[in-house]
Structure 1
Amino acid sequence: MSGTPTFVNDVMAERVVGLRAGAAFKDIVKAMREWQVGALPVLDDSGVVIGVVSEADLLPKEQYSDRDIGRYGQVEHLSELRKADAVTAGALMTAPAVTVAPATTLAHAARVMARNRVGRLPVVGRDGTLKGIVSRSDLLKVFLREDKDIAEEVRRQVVPRHFGTRTSTIRVEVRDGVVTLSGRVHETALVPPAARLAREVPGVVDVRCASAGPPRHPNLDPDLPEADHPARSEAEPSVRRGGR
């Protein structure tokens, strides 16, 4: 893995196989086994992604082979029964396909996967043609980044942005992807936004803050009166207690 992976284009697999809409059921199964994948994109004649066939689309063929589910079951599982009768990729595929662009951030791609409950996404160009495939395991490659590289980026990109010229008082340590920010800061309100920005650095697992505010000025001469309690003037009359 060269450089810092930030976009789908950095981690996607470019060598992929696509199916034509007329691909036969058994050929689909063979392709999945050969490529060791659980889903394959379906392309039209111009190479545009029009759908995806997954193992879940193929399973109804076996699941409903006996058709013994009753009339009400047939209504409830109509979509699965249609797939059970399908014999080509065009009839089996889920369409339209959920896709991402090469310049999609890894974080956004992960949200798309989670929202649509899929483990692989076709990567398409502006014209809809297939450019690659990105999987969950591809998105996790970012966490293989070296701790020293993460620390350097936090020092270079995060610390100066929030703490300005006082960066010498901020320490950045990274261990197993966990960033720790420590040292004294002139304004503690700056720490939470700095932590949020550090969490966005590729490869960061978590951010912990051990920063302290500016030191309190010590009372250098305790015998002197406090500034907000001036000493009583000698000319100021005193009040005697317990007699005249």
Structure 2
Amino acid sequence: MTSTPYIVNDVMARRVIAVAPDATFKEIVTAMERWKITALPVVKGEGRVVGVVSEADLLPKEEFHGRRPGLIEQMRNLSATAKAGSTRAEDLMTAPAITVHPDAPLPQAARLMANHRVKRLPVVDANGTLKGIVSRADLLKVFLRSDDELADEIRHTVVNHLFPVSRSRIKVTVTHGIATLAGQVRDSDLIPVAVRLTHAVEGVVDVRCRLATEAST
């Protein structure tokens, strides 16, 4: 009834800057600065993702620069103090990497980012081979769809299917991503279904329902 949901493959970046496990600390920092990114997938062999190295993984080097952490401090944060003394991606990276498949729905990618508190996810195939990268900004691209495009999709995938008889009496408008359904329908039970399906259209920010049954007017 509804259009095919957007998946990661629809919005991901296919050009990815990655580093090998033996990349040096300075090479990693240089790549981040050159490409204006905050994290890099670490790939091995034919492109299999083995980890991700981010700015957070590099900061302990500065945090403990010029001083040696005490025993208690080391015990409290073994990972950070270990990374402070590391110089290569394989020792600095966070592993295993949190990844997502190209056919994953966008809400799944968003939940992974939120649950693991990361800003981007390497996109890998069934073999773990790097295919792209998806960021928070990429997930928001669906909200750049035009109001006219959203209105057309709502009419075709929601109104025309749910209300084949009443559709001529239903007006669909979208303003700044907010969809409004107005008019008269025969079956009141279908009104909440219409609202739910309209919410599910990729790029819709919110839904205003002004539908009423013919008998109530």
Q: Same fold (TM over 0.5)?
A: yes
Structure that is richer in helix per residue: 2
Contact between 1:5 and 1:142, CA under 8 Å: does it hold in 2? no
Residue type of the alignment partner of 1:215 = A
1:144-159 alignment, distance < 5 Å: 144-159=144-159
Specify the code of the residue in structure 2 equivalent to 1:152.
Answer: D
Structure 2 partner of 1:176: 176
- 1:198-209 map, 5 Å: 198-209=198-209
Q: Are 2:207 and 1:210 aligned?
A: no
Partner of 2:133: 133
SS of structure 2 residue aligned to 1:41 = strand
Q: Percent identity?
A: 53
The reply on whether 1:105 has 2:102 as its aligned counterpart is no
Structure 2 regions of 5+ residues with no counterpart? none
Residue 12 of structure 2 corresponds to 12
Partners of 1:5 and 1:11 within 8 A in 2:
no
1:67 Cα deviation after fit: 4.2
Alignment of 1:10-49 (within 5 A): 10-49=10-49
CA drift at 1:10: 1.6
Alignment of 1:66-145 (within 5 A): 66-67=66-67, 70-145=70-145
Question: Letter of the aligned partner of 2:147 in structure 1?
Answer: D
- State the shift of 1:9 in Å: 1.3
Answer yes or no: is the 8 Å Cα contact 1:185–1:213 preserved in 2.
Answer: yes
CA pair 5-194 structure 1, distance change in 2 beyond 3 A = closer
CA–CA separation in structure 2 for the residues paired with 1:31 and 1:165: 59
TM normalised by structure 2 equals 0.92
Q: How far off is 1:36 after superposition?
A: 0.7
- Contact persistence 1:187–1:213 (CA under 8 A): yes
- Give, as a single letter, the amino acid of the residue that structure 2 aligns with 1:136: R
Letter in 2 for 1:36: K
After the TM superposition, which of the residue ranges 61-70 and 88-97 deviates more from structure 2?
Answer: 61-70
TM-score by length of 1: 0.83
C-alpha distance after superposition, 1:66-97 (max 9, x if no partner): 44654322211111101111110000111111
Q: Could you tell me whether the CA contact under 8 Å between 1:150 and 1:174 is conserved in 2?
A: yes
**Structure of larger gyration radius:** 1
Residue equivalent to 1:57: 57
Displacement of 1:114 in angstroms is 1.1
Q: Secondary structure at the match of 1:22?
A: coil
Cα RMSD between the aligned structures? 1.7
Residues matched between the structures, number: 214
Alignment partners' CA distance in 2, 1:11 and 1:216: 44
Taking the aligned partners of 1:93 and 1:160, their CA distance within structure 2 comes to: 51
> Higher relative contact order by CA 8 Å / sep ≥ 6: 1 or 2?
2
Runs (5+) with no aligned partner, structure 1: 218-244
In 1, the alpha carbon distance for the partners of 2:102 and 2:23 equals 27
